[in-house]
Chain A
Amino acid sequence: MIEIVSRERCIACDRCVEVCPRNVFDRGADGVPVIARQDDCQTCFMCEAYCPADALFVAPLAFPARPGSPLRDEARLAAAGLLGGYRREIGWGRGRTPGAKFAVGPELPATPPPIVTTVTERTEIGEGIGDTISDEVTR
């Protein structure tokens, strides 16, 4: 779900308002878009891909994050390099090469290959950034 429109970073270009396929944003009075219909968000990350200012953050959850979740903490996400992360990965933006150019995945095996890594501690989703997923979502 879309969680953050960074007031600090946004350049009020309205691109996200235009491209969001679910029409989640409204134009804000001061130019910074507002998340008007978060319920309609389909967690597709497309707005992030198009934002030229790395001002958006879509939490990778199908439900809103709880108040106070690290997934709503702009400073923390920015420090972790997660704002604008998708745009960087697909190589969009000035001076970057489209990721499509390098998109050569592994051959998919017909039958599962042998296990090659050791499983470490079982992790509930969200643990890596502080909490567990069940605590992370509100629904």
Chain B
Amino acid sequence: MSEPLELFTDVLVLGGGPAATWAALKAAQAGADVVLADKGYCGTSGAAASAGTGIWYVEPDPEAREKAMASREALGGYLADRRWMVRVLDQTYEGVNELATAGRYPFPVVDGRPLRRGVQGPEYMRRMRILVRRAGVRILDHSPATELLTAADGSVAGAAGHRLQTGEPYRVRAAAVVLATGGCAFLSGTLGCHVNTGDGHLMAAELGAELSGMEFSNAYAIAPEFTTLTKTAYYSFATFYREDGSVLEGAGSRRGRSVIARALLREKVYCVLDRADAETRARMRRGQPNFFLTFDRLGIDPFTQRFPITLLLEGTVRGTGGIRVVSEDCATSVPGLYVAGDAATRELICGGFTGGGSHNAAWAIASGTWAGQGAARYAAALGRGANRRPATGAGGAGLRPTGTPGTVAHRDVVAAVQAEVLPYDKNYLRHGDRLAPALAALHGVWREVRAGLHGTGAEAVRTRQAAAMTAHARWMYTAALTRTESRGMHKREDYPDQDPAWRHRLLVGGLDEIWTRPDEVAPVGPEEFAALGSPGLAGASGAYLRAAS
């Protein structure tokens, strides 16, 4: 092992997807010196780079905006906050337009007007990388962070990690840190998400940050069996069949997905996109060329030939839970620590429903922008020399075991966690009788992890991933057991109805001992919003939390 690389900066951004690149760009534009460290390669890494995304891009026309805000409110169980929807829509509109002009993203033009409601992943992220580099950001690729650093007062002071291609450890000392490490898909194999193991959530929790909405963490996506291609939009044109060729009644890409899950527990399910006419088929190919990669390479005509499908867990990637946001600039409860994209909860705009298809991508742009600017302001306020504060590593599980190091292997930990979170009858089709033993098993895994999981160098990256997934799963199921009702994507067979008493967000936190409590900030639905006189939330005024009391 060589000497650690040590860098000093104002703002350190962890991650390399949309949220991280918007944060880095905006922090740099605000005058901060910025370092971005990504686990993979900034430009190809993360869910958006390989998948591509529809974006919640809505013209600033009052009627269109109202319709957009109302679209997922009921589905999300009215847990969202319209004040955040207003500002996310505004910021996304501005950001996407900047991507078109400064970023020169080649949006299609239809009838003389640019169409900016979606991006292809490789093109989007290639251009974001260029923008970030031009802004003077120093990029560390293949450099996963394994722990945050803290100053004596408990504020965040940087991060440490490992450079996979040079084999050297690194430390970045910073005045402020933006966590944009994505959600957690538990290495289920969903497109582009092997990097998304919830590392940021663990690192934040180790500093005392809270999480929110972790019960809304069971998004599952359709893919042809044995593949990773979880592009689901075009299954709106599908019919689902049983092995014997009869139609699987009630199955659908949207509302009927649980029917598919139930069927998959007993039998194979097949699919054919037999509802797409010639014109639709041609448009699909232009719209999402990656959707066809599997079919073309395997010699399947998806429009006329049945192919077997599966459902892959996307956890908090297309689920909505994540690190709690406590102010308009996406600060967390840890001083100096900001959060953006899928690492943060997206309940503020999605409630308990998925943010896939449009909201998540918008949130990554908007929250990235605010977190980057907020971190730059925080760093400026701390002043020069803040990044020279004495800083110590805060990582626990997987790095600094409390017992004999090496008593458990990261592969076994991952397998044990997957056995509790991937099965449809545990995580998708939820019931207290199945959740409780699953959670107990996960607590057991955690105890082993905490006592004996250990790695150094590149191995530490893997032990930390395993620890992060274990913690994630425990927050998920603790919240899922606590919320004794069905709301949003969280459906309990033992509590099938939505319970008005539960119309609040649920916070969860802790590592060895996990706690929950209701969020003191109430959701702002259409009625509350109107009663407030339809205000916006602007700047870092703290109005968001103050409005709570």
- Mark A residues whose CB is within 8 Å of B: 17-23, 40, 42-46, 49-50, 59-63, 71, 82, 85-86, 89-90, 92, 98-106, 108-109, 112-129, 133, 136-137
Are A86 and B290 in contact (CB-based, < 8 A)?
A: yes
Q: How many residue pairs bridge A and B at CB < 8 Å?
A: 202
**Which of B225, B272, B308 is in CB contact (< 8 Å) with A119?**
B272
The 7 closest A-B pairs by CB, nearest first: A128-B299, A105-B287, A21-B40, A21-B45, A42-B194, A89-B289, A44-B50
Smallest CB gap from A136: residue in B: B226
Q: Enumerate chain A residues within 8 angstroms of B284, measured Cβ to Cβ.
A: 105-106
- Binding stretch for chain A, among B118-126, B211-219, B469-477: B118-126
Cβ–Cβ contact B233 & A108, under 8 A: yes
Chain B positions within 8 Å of A, measured between CB atoms, are 39-41, 43-46, 49-50, 105-110, 115, 118-120, 122-123, 141-142, 164-165, 189, 191-195, 224-229, 233-234, 236-239, 245, 252, 270, 272, 274-277, 279-280, 283-284, 286-290, 292-294, 296-301, 303-308
Considering the chains assembled together, what is the distance between the CA atoms of A123 and B167 in angstroms?
46
Given that A90-B122, A113-B237, A133-B226 are contacting pairs, would A123 and B105 also be in contact in the complex, using a CB cutoff of 8 Å?
Answer: no
Residues of chain B contacted by A59 (CB below 8 angstroms): 297
Chain A residue nearest to B144 (CB atoms) is A23
- Say yes or no: A43 contacts B41, CB within 8 Å: no
Contact B297 A102 (CB under 8 A): no
Find out whether the CB atom of A112 lies under 8 angstroms from the CB atom of B252: yes
**A47-B452 Cα distance, complex, nearest whole Å:** 36
CA distance A78 to B466 in the complex (A): 39
Provide the bound-state CA to CA distance between A18 and B140, in Å. 12
Which residues of the other chain, A, contact B239 by a CB distance below 8 angstroms? Answer: 112, 115
Are A44 and B304 also in contact (CB < 8 A) when A22-B194, A63-B226, A90-B122 are?
no
Of the A-B pairs whose beta carbons lie under 8 Å apart in the complex, a sample of 26, sorted by A's number, is A19-B41, A19-B44, A20-B41, A21-B40, A40-B194, A44-B50, A44-B191, A49-B122, A71-B297, A85-B297, A98-B123, A101-B106, A101-B107, A101-B108, A103-B286, A104-B286, A105-B286, A106-B237, A106-B287, A112-B238, A115-B274, A117-B272, A117-B274, A117-B303, A133-B298, A136-B226
Chain B residues whose C-beta falls within 8 Å of the C-beta of A133 in the assembled complex: 225-226, 298, 308
Q: Which residue of B lies closest to A89 (CB)?
A: B289
- Docked pose: A61 CA to B451 CA in angstroms: 36
CA of A100 to CA of B142, assembled, Å:
27
Chain A residue numbers with a CB within 8 Å of B298 are 60, 125-129, 133
Q: How far is the CA of A118 from the CA of B301 in the complex (A)?
A: 12
B49 touches A61 (CB 8 A): no
Contacts of A103 in B (CB 8 A): 108, 118, 120, 286-288
Q: How far, in angstroms, from A107 to B309 measured CA to CA in the complex?
A: 23
B310 and chain A: residue at smallest CB distance: A62
A59 to B110, CA, bound (A): 35
Q: A23-B142, A86-B290 are in contact. List 15 more A-B contacts (CB 8 A).
A: A19-B41, A40-B194, A42-B195, A45-B290, A85-B297, A90-B120, A104-B115, A105-B118, A106-B287, A117-B272, A117-B303, A124-B308, A125-B224, A125-B300, A133-B298
A50 contacts across to B, CB distance below 8 A: 44
B-chain residues with CB within 8 Å of residue A89 when the two chains form the complex: 289-290, 292
Hey, which chain A residues are within 8 Å of B164, CB to CB?
Answer: 23
Contact across chains for A42 and B115 when beta carbons are under 8 A apart: no
Q: For B283, give the chain A residue with the smallest CB separation.
A: A106
Report A28 CB to chain B, min CB distance, Å.
15
Residues of B within 8 A of A61 (CB): 226-227
B64 to chain A, nearest CB (A): 16
The docked-state distance in angstroms from the alpha carbon of A16 to that of B308 is 32
Give the residues in chain B near A120, CB-CB below 8 Å: 301, 304-305
Please, which residue of chain B has its CB at the minimum distance from the CB of A43? Answer: B228
Residues of A within 8 A of B194 (CB): 22, 40, 42
List the A side residues contacting B279 at CB < 8 Å.
106
How long is the Cα–Cα vector from A98 to B46 in the complex, in angstroms? 21
User: B300 to chain A: which residues have CB within 8 Å?
Assistant: 123, 125, 127-128
CA separation between A87 and B304, bound complex, in Å?
Answer: 26
Instruction: Report yes or no: B41 in contact with A122, Cβ–Cβ below 8 A.
Output: no
Q: Pick the contact of A98 from B41, B106, B294, B307 — CB < 8 Å? A: B106
Q: Which residue of A lies closest to B297 (CB)?
A: A60
Q: Which of B142, B245, B286, B303 contacts A122 (CB 8 A)?
A: B245
Candidate in A44, A99, A101 with the most chain B CB atoms within 10 angstroms: A44
User: How many angstroms between the C-alpha atoms of A18 and B405 in the bound complex?
Assistant: 33
**B75 to nearest A CB, angstroms?**
13
Contact A125 B226 (CB under 8 A): yes
Would B274 and A82 count as touching, CB distance under 8 A? no
CB-defined contacts of A122 to chain B, threshold 8 Å = 245, 270, 305-306
Determine the residue in chain A with the shortest Cβ distance to B270.
A122
Tell me the minimal C-beta distance from B430 to chain A in angstroms. 26
- A100 and B116 CA atoms in complex are apart in Å by 11
The smallest beta-carbon distance between B298 and chain A, in angstroms, is 5
Q: How far is the CA of A19 from the CA of B297 in the complex (A)?
A: 23
| Residue of chain B at shortest CB distance from A87 | B122
Chain B residue nearest to A134 (CB atoms) is B226
